[in-house]
Amino acid sequence: MKRIIILILALVPVLSFAQNNLDNKLVGTHLFSLQWISWDYFGNAKITPTATPNEYKIEGIQKSKEHKGDYVKINGTLTAVNAKHLIFNGTVETKVHHSNYGQPCVRTGKFNFKATGNRKYWRLQEMENPCDGVTDYVDIFFKKRASKKQMKNRKTPQNDIEKTFSYLKWVDANAYENDVFRFGYAPKTFHLKKEKDPEHRYANKMTFLGTYKGLKFYFSPGGVGDPPIFIVFTTNGEDIREFSADNLCINSQGIIYTSKKVNKNLNIRRKFIIKGNEIEEVKQPYLYVGEKGKLLRTIKLYSSQDNQGQIVATLPKGYEVEVLLYEQEFLRDVDSTKIIKYYLVRTKFGLVGWLTTDSQEGLFIK
């Protein structure tokens, strides 16, 4: 009897640890989708613990932006068999304009959500739509939405630029959908419109932000292979400047500041001045970065740019570095343009050297 009691007591911390891990993985607001609605943008599925051990409440929805009225909903409870297998008890409702004559399809009962292989989501295993026979991919993603508190406190290029220019008014730059791009302005001198491009001059989704002393400001979120850009036109429709930037602001004196992520997570900041119908950049000796991260591959730091001079350090994958400065150079020939990027990198010991990459080499830090 003593052995049984001791064994039970020994298992309590293990079970408690497993439950805590499960709670950390499940509890929160997850990305949620049905492929017929979209895989480009997601809905939300909120998972909360119930009073019953190992049971969670789930409620979620994804709405279509292209076809008004299309959606997928989920409402019920989840019981975890393990971290990759969830038993759902409740209702999944879908409404897709090209399925079941555009009418809602409701399935109620017990279903299985599983994360198979290396997939980063739990997928509904009973995939056949009972109303139409098509295959539905209903997915609850591991990835969670950041809470309002986390969004407010986390360090991002958006938060950095908005905190620096807190005296300006800030809005989302995209009139078509919510995303991460921001625009700041001085209400007394900038006349905000923020509407879908009234002149339809571009095929991609352009937002007309407003005007500053006759100059028209637009924003495009870009697309596959195209970066987000802010564009400034004269009243005659002449394109006088394009800014490859994630965030842009303009103060009452006509000074423009931009921030943009390069290498996915390194923030670059620039300054420009409006002079009549021209916009000039205030040249900096180097562009400051000041971001830390871990290397995605082994690199060598050199005493000179272009991987020339002495080797300052050879650093392994996973090593933490700080990127101090950034500079880029464009090499053009008849058929293409090659971007050469120079990063001044500091090791944990404090040694500083240059890393040179080109546009084909991809990320080196996360």
- Would you write out the chain's pLDDT as a tens digit for each of its 366 residues? 555 544 444 444 333 435 667 888 899 999 999 999 987 778 999 999 999 988 999 999 999 888 889 999 999 999 999 989 999 999 999 999 999 999 999 999 999 999 988 888 999 999 999 998 899 999 999 877 755 554 445 445 556 788 889 999 999 888 877 667 899 999 999 999 988 876 655 556 788 999 999 999 999 887 655 678 899 999 888 889 999 888 999 999 999 999 988 765 678 899 999 998 899 999 998 888 888 888 888 999 999 998 899 999 999 999 999 999 988 787 766 566 677 889 999 999 999 999 988 765 666 777
> Other CB atoms closer than 10 Å to residue 266's CB: what's the count?
21
Closest CA to 161 of 138, 134, 181, 135: 181
Look-up: residue for tokens 């943009």?
A: 260
Q: Count how many Cα atoms sit within 13 Å of the Cα of residue 228 in the half-sphere of its side chain.
A: 19
Residues 51-84: b if buried by 16+ CB within 10 A, e if exposed: eeeeebebebbbbbeebeebbbbbbbbbbbeeee
- Cβ-in-10-Å burial (0-12, 13-18, 19+) of 117 comes to exposed
Please tell me the distance from the alpha carbon of residue 309 to that of residue 330, in angstroms, as a whole number: 22
pTM of the predicted protein model: 0.57
Please tell me the distance from the alpha carbon of residue 87 to that of residue 55, in angstroms, as a whole number: 10
Q: φ, ψ for residue 278 (rounded to 5)?
A: -125, 150
Read off the tokens for 22. 């499960």
Q: What is the dihedral of CA 202, 278, 251, 229, to 10 degrees?
A: 30
Please tell me the distance from the alpha carbon of residue 340 to that of residue 327, in angstroms, as a whole number: 8
Q: What is the mean pLDDT of the chain?
A: 84
Q: Where are the alpha helices (DSSP H) in 171-309?
A: none
- Specify the CATH number of the domain 289-358: 2.30.30
Q: How many helices (H) and strands (E) does the chain have?
A: 3, 25
- Cβ-in-10-Å burial (0-12, 13-18, 19+) of 97 comes to middle
Q: Where are the alpha helices (DSSP H) in the chain?
A: 2-26, 148-153, 157-164
Domain ranges of the chain: 2-144, 149-283, 289-358
Read off the tokens for 139. 């997915």
Please tell me the distance from the alpha carbon of residue 97 to that of residue 152, in angstroms, as a whole number: 38
Closest CA to 185 of 251, 260, 258, 253: 251
- Cβ-in-10-Å burial (0-12, 13-18, 19+) of 250 comes to buried
